[in-house]
Structure 1
Amino acid sequence: MKIRYLMLHAYGMGGTIRTVVNQANAMAAAGHEVELVSLVRRREMPQFRLDPRITVTTLVDQRTGRLPDSIGRRAWRRVRGKIVPRGEFAADYFTERVEWAAMEYVSGLRDGILVTTRPALNLIAARRTPRNVIKVAQEHMNLSAYPDTIRREIARHYHRFDAICVLTGTNRLEYQRLLPGTPIVQIPNAVHKVEQERSQQVNPVVIAAGRLVPQKGFDLLIAAFAQVVPEHPEWRLRVFGTGPRKGQLAGLIEQYGLGEHVELPGRTERMERELTDASVYALSSRFEGLPMVMIEAMTHALPVVAFDCPTGPKDVLTDGVDGVLVPPRDVDALAAALNRVIADRELRLRMGEAAVVTSRAYGPGVVMPLWERLFSELSEDRRAVRNHWSAR
């Protein structure tokens, strides 16, 4: 099969990039012809390992900066032919030049399978890809997290896809209600591997990771950890990641007097080691799709303390078994759960063992055959797949 993955920035960091690269690598390893298409390129080298059999294509090279558009950004927002709506989380990437490059690329395809990986690219593919190309939309975020501007366009155009792939059962129900008759397929993202070195629960470290943006709720986590320190002064919180809110988070650390207890180490090339050396994983997100770093932490036998945010944590965790779920954005409840788990090493060991068992459902050996089966079925009979998945 010929499979093309169209991504916003294949050379960047982040959970979506990592999971799509993992899929591309798996399909190449299975003998398929795979192309990874990066809409923009801002780095010299990809941040994640790519199978050498994959063809990598860049549509707009921005390594030397952004080239000016012909009509300017404000005017482009009012252009009749513009597809990417306001409210798309990556809307700033979609200048006139970038959006036209995406439209031109998908319009020129004549065969194979096109997989698009975020709402902006999904909408472009739905509207501009020729009918003889099999179109698969990936949604890495829950529907309710999108503003009305995005949901309206999804409702209007996503029925043109041969399949829409979502991460959780909750996501699937959301999209089925919005798009009756459209094949909605649930396939979770896969971790890199499930056999990892396990935490021995000896280091007094709580770990978290993600982009330093409001979605991840690290401001709430820092506030919760301020309640942990008086009871467990030997414990530390390490929040890995980069992003625009680093200065604000550093200010919160200073405000709470947590300079000796909370670290913002930035990006790390040794996350597996950091997870092994920690004892608890904290997820403080305001909303999620499927939190992959959390599942990766579970492969290291880390218990999870998480907000029961929409969506993801509850689709993975069983409260009291492999982690603890607390009400969304409830800082006091998050602090109480952290204190409970920190104070009980036997509980952490028991939950960590259960977390390893849970994580096995997200191993590449389980997930990647689901993708290959879907692509094969679509290639063989698009109509049969539409009827099968629409009726479920």
Structure 2
Amino acid sequence: MRALARKGKSAVGRLYRGYNRRKARTAPPPSTRRIRILLLHAHGMGGTIRTVFNLASYLADRHEVEIVSVLREAEQPFFPIDPRVKFRFLDDRLEPSRDPVRAMLSKLPSRLIPKEESAYHRFTLWTDLKLARFIRSVDGGVLMATRPGLNLAVAQLAPPGVITIGQEHVALATQPEPVQELIKWRYRRLDALVTLTKADLNDYRETLAKQPRKLVRIPNAVPPMSGEVSKLDAKVAVAVGRMTRIKGFHRLISAWETVAQAHPDWTLRIFGAGPQEENLARQIAEAGLEGKVELPGPTTDIGAELEKASIYVMSSRHEGFPMTILEAMAKGLAIVSFNSPHGPKEMIKNGVDGLLVKPRTNANLAAAIIRVIEDEQLRRDLGAGALETARKYDLPVIGQKWDKLLADLLARREARYRKQTAAKQPAEPATT
């Protein structure tokens, strides 16, 4: 039976490869005019969503851009949307359906997304069907994916005439081993893989058995924000993020017990929501920090909240390339962050535009915050350094890197297309 199953699988693979070869012969000329970006949930509130919206807005100046969201679970987007960017939802879970096939497949687990992928529980056999149909229907242009599961699906299923780009927002080292193994072999089919940090770029170079045609680092850009630069005179520290264990807010609250004893007139505000919210509220109450640590919930106007603060604190165990640090830098806040091996370590120059603290050391985090509170000149120097660093991540600066990548990929594809087209031409008859 196993031998028969292997033969069947091999036959399907041969049919699929043959179909792709036939499709390649009739594929339209390569183009970057249309760009489609795959997201898990465009109406969510994560950092990846914010950065994708930012990039889509920039690309819409010269391209037709569509964001394709696998899920729709909220009526309205959390972040503002550029009206030039089109949207499509593959599995609209707000829309009632009497389709028995959809109802049945929606109860079955995904077979397309690896079980170890962190968002696996959000996918079903129905989303597999909708996602696979969409990817196979793309008839040209650029298809970009934004997380491992989607990158793997695009690498596996995208038609040969499509320029494919994988974006990684989380460090390779944090991915489960089975996902890394799939990445190692399947990412080579992508036209390009884009990482956010130099450290992650090096990790991919060492890990991939065969690299994509282009492996590059393009960091996120500072998104547009309301308000002005902080005056650094408010006795407020801010943290922002989804309330999960990985964000380390429980460590930050523990550290703030020490800060509050030394400076009871300072307030910590942690913006966000998530599964750890109740636990964090309980921790605040048990530590007697009511009024000193606030959980205001998520905010759609992060610029206004940063403007009203003087210090930004990053307490995550690890980060890819945290947008919130960029946003805080652009507002001129003094940054205090755990020295995570990828994002913060590359973004912050210790003592110049922020302070880096040994990871998972609550006492050191508290000491660094107190140091910034008590040394106003240091606070202002760090804020000035942060403003200078943020300019390197202005949207026009980062956007030019995307322009270059797209131009390079198009040139490569055009060269291959001309070669293939020339090979199809009948030979000219010999003249006597």
- Please, what TM-score do these two structures have when normalized by structure 2? 0.84
Q: Mark the runs of 5 or more structure 2 residues left unpaired by the alignment.
A: 1-32, 417-432
Cα deviation per residue 1:88-131 (whole Å; 9 max; x = unaligned)?
11111111111221111101112100000101111110111111
Rate the CA distance shift 1:96–1:356 in 2: closer, same or farther, 3 A: same
Question: 49, 54, 79: which is aligned to 1:17?
Answer: 49
Find the aligned partners of 1:361 and 1:193 in 2 and give their Cα distance: 15
Superposed displacement of residue 49, structure 1: 2.5
Question: How many residues in Structure 1 have an aligned counterpart in Structure 2?
Answer: 378
User: Which residue identity is paired with 2:379?
Assistant: R
SS in 2 for 1:266: coil
**How far 1:306 moved relative to its partner?**
0.3
What residue in structure 1 maps to residue 103 of structure 2? Answer: 68
Q: 1:329 aligns with which of 345, 348, 360?
A: 360
Letter paired with 2:35: I
Q: Find out whether 1:154 has 2:183 as its counterpart.
A: yes
The CA distance in 2 between the partners of 1:363 and 1:8, in whole Å, is 26
* Alignment-mate amino acid for residue 218 of structure 1: F
Letter in 2 for 1:336: A
Residue 281 of structure 1 corresponds to: 312
Which residue pairs with 1:388 in the alignment? none
Q: Which residue of 2 aligns with 1:83?
A: 112
Cα distance between partner residues in 1 of 2:96 and 2:350: 47
**For the Cα contact (< 8 Å) 1:194–1:299, is it kept in 2?**
no
Supply the distance in 1 between the matched residues of 2:83 and 2:291 (Cα, whole angstroms).
44
Using the aligned pairs only, state the percent identity.
41
Once the 2 structures are TM-superposed, how far is the Cα of residue 52 of structure 1 from its aligned partner?
2.2
Check conservation: 1:194, 1:359, Cα contact below 8 A: no
CA RMSD of aligned residues (A): 1.8
Aligned to 2:211: 181
Deviates more, 1:56-65 or 1:225-234: 56-65
* Amino acid paired to 1:25: S
Question: Displacement of 1:383 after TM fit?
Answer: 9.0
Residue identity matched to 1:103? A
Distance 1:196 1:359, change over 3 A: farther
Q: Aligned-pair distance for 1:256?
A: 1.2
- Is 1:140 aligned with 2:169? yes
CA distance, structure 1, for counterparts of residue 415 and residue 336 of structure 2: 42
Aligned to 1:115: 144
The structure that has the greater radius of gyration is 2
Paired residue secondary structure (2:263): coil
2:122 corresponds to: 93
**For 1:287, what is the secondary structure of its paired residue?**
coil
Alpha-carbon distance in structure 2 between the residues aligned to 1:35 and 1:194: 23
1:248 to 2:279 alignment: yes
Q: Which amino acid aligns with 1:209?
A: V
Structure 2 residue 89 is matched with structure 1 residue 54:
no
For 1:5, the equivalent position in structure 2 comes to: 37
Q: Is the CA contact 2:78–2:300 (under 8 Å) kept in the aligned structure 1?
A: no
Counterpart amino acid of 2:103?
Answer: P
- The code of the aligned residue for 2:77 comes to P
Q: 1:390 maps to what in 2?
A: none
Does residue 131 of structure 1 match 2:166? no
Q: Which amino acid aligns with 2:396?
A: G
Q: Give the letter aligned to residue 300 of structure 2.
A: E
Q: Secondary structure at the match of 2:231?
A: coil
Say whether residues 1:346 and 2:377 are aligned partners: yes
1:106 matched residue in structure 2:
135
Whole-Å Cα distance in 2 between the matches of residues 25 and 101 of structure 1?
Answer: 26
Query: Are the structure 2 counterparts of residues 85 and 352 from structure 1 closer, same or farther at C-alpha, using a change threshold of 3 Å?
Result: same
**Is 2:345 the counterpart of 1:314?**
yes
